[in-house]
């Protein structure tokens, strides 16, 4: 079972350790996204070298391809990914938002039209738990409804009610699976020593996180939190943000999180990776983050640095001998110039996206590490202001 040990606070910000069967994770933490069981363009060894300790995969995509039964037959998601650290699997709730034109919602669940072959696939709270159980991830997410950022109040209220009802059903299915897995694990451990890789996923317990919805409506957020917190789950996520509502409305929602969610359990802000959003959330008591931003932007030639973003395709970098960031210890910055990186992108060489992904993942790991250190030193708020000024000065001037 995943547990959060809080070691230091600075205002509402928390620094701690997330204890899992697959290792400890210092918090606050950013999780690279490996949607289909891989973080695009980089190996597990490279991810670790960047400083990442936990990764995320997606239930919906793995359900469609290769299928949960195939992942299970291959020994579970850890074996498939060749990743021995913790894994969190999203539930498919985000696809309710992102694939709105390809799905139908009912009280039973959500029916998707597969983006792969057009077939109809029903995902229910119960099947969502069964799939994630077969995947063998450490942290599993409830199935929820994620409405758009500009959705009318009536739609958001419906999402709150549906997500709360689905959370209760997810808890029942999760507990049933945990009981079955405990019985199976006992038989496996009696029969095998050591436990074979193909069966090891049965021998550790998963942790279910509930998801708060409510859009930008503080009262609906409070009601959603009340209904999922009363289920007494191992952790809680803040969903339905970074879906078009903007930075200031997001911060207004986060202002109330510390009073809505338990202080002794992990808090996970889903799908948020903009550095200013991460800082605002940490200052308000959030522990965990994920986003495709660092990897997707890397594949498009954009590097994150402490002094702003670099667009490597710009001609200004063609003869530049400096690394992306002279203070960055990552493999890319130790070995490649901006000019070399630009050449790889202009020549459509695969190495370019790989090198930029390595750097961006390393930047986000470093970013979380210095945030954590500032919490221990008690000056996160003042340092945040200087970091943001340096990172976003060019955008402000523009």
Give the active site residue among 90, 277, 287, 325. 90
Residues 13 and 15: their CA atoms lie apart, in Å, by 7
Q: Is 290 part of the annotated catalytic residue set?
A: yes
Q: Is 106 exposed, middle or buried, given 0-12, 13-18 or 19+ CB atoms closer than 10 A? A: exposed
Task: Check if the beta carbon of residue 52 is closer than 8 Å to that of residue 29.
Answer: no
CB 292 within 8 A of CB 273: yes
Is 389 one of the annotated active-site residues of the chain? no
Q: What angle do CA 110, 111, 114 make, to 5 degrees?
A: 130
Distances from the Cα of 366 to the Cα of 150, 187, 281, 308, angstroms: 33, 43, 17, 15
Q: Which residues contact 213 (CB under 8 A, 6 or more apart)?
A: 144, 145, 146, 147, 156, 159, 160, 163, 220, 221, 224, 239, 240
Return the structure tokens found at 39: 């973080």
- Whether the CB-CB separation of 292 and 20 falls below 8 Å is answered with no
Judge contact between 205 and 184, C-beta under 8 A. no
Cβ atoms of residues 119 and 86 within 8 Å: no
Burial of 276 (0-12, 13-18, 19+ CB in 10 A): middle
Q: Report the C-alpha gap between 122 and 9 in whole angstroms.
A: 43
Distance (Å, rounded) from C-alpha 136 to C-alpha 163?
Answer: 23
N-terminal to C-terminal alpha carbon distance within the chain:
48
**Helical spans, DSSP H, in 74-152:** 77-81, 93-98, 125-135
Joined together, the tokens standing for residue 120 give: 């109809």
Kindly name the residue from 138, 287, 290, 325 that is annotated as catalytic: 290
Catalytic residue list: 90, 290
């Amino acid at each position: 079972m995943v547990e959060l040990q809080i070691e230091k606070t600075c205002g509402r910000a928390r620094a701690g350790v997330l204890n899992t069967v697959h290792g400890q994770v210092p918090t606050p933490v950013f999780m690279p996204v490996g949607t289909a069981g891989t973080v695009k363009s980089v190996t597990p060894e490279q991810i670790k070298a960047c400083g990442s300790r936990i990764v995320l995969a997606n239930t919906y995509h793995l359900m469609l391809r290769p299928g949960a039964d195939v992942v299970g037959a291959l020994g579970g998601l850890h074996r498939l990914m060749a990743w021995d650290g913790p894994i969190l699997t999203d539930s498919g709730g985000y696809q309710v938002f992102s694939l709105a034109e390809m799905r139908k919602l009912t009280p039973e669940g959500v029916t998707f039209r597969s983006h792969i072959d057009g077939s109809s696939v029903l995902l229910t709270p119960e099947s969502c738990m069964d799939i994630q159980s077969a995947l063998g991830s450490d942290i599993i997410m409830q199935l929820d409804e994620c409405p758009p950022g500009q959705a009318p109040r009536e739609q958001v209220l419906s999402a709150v009610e549906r997500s709360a009802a689905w959370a209760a059903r997810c808890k029942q299915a999760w507990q049933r699976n945990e009981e079955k897995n405990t019985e199976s694990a006992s038989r496996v451990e009696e029969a095998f020593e050591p436990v074979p890789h193909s069966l090891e996923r049965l021998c550790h317990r998963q942790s279910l996180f509930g998801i708060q919805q409510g859009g930008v409506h503080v009262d609906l957020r409070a009601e959603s939190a009340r209904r999922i917190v009363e289920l007494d789950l191992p952790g809680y996520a803040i969903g339905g943000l970074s879906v078009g509502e903007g930075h200031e409305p997001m911060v207004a929602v986060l202002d109330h999180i510390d009073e809505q969610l338990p202080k002794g359990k992990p808090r996970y802000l889903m799908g948020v990776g903009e550095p200013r959003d991460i800082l605002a959330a940490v200052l308000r008591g959030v522990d965990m983050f994920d986003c495709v931003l660092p990897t997707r932007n890397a594949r498009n030639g954009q590097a994150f640095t402490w002094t702003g973003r670099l667009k490597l395709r710009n001609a200004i970098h063609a003869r530049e001998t400096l690394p992306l960031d002279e203070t960055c210890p990552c493999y890319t910055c130790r070995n490649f110039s901006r000019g070399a990186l630009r050449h790889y992108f202009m020549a459509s060489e695969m190495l370019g996206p790989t090198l930029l992904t390595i750097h961006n993942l390393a930047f986000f790991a470093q970013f979380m590490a210095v945030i954590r250190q500032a919490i221990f030193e008690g000056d996160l708020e003042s340092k945040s202001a200087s970091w943001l000024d340096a990172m976003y000065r060019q955008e402000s001037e523009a």
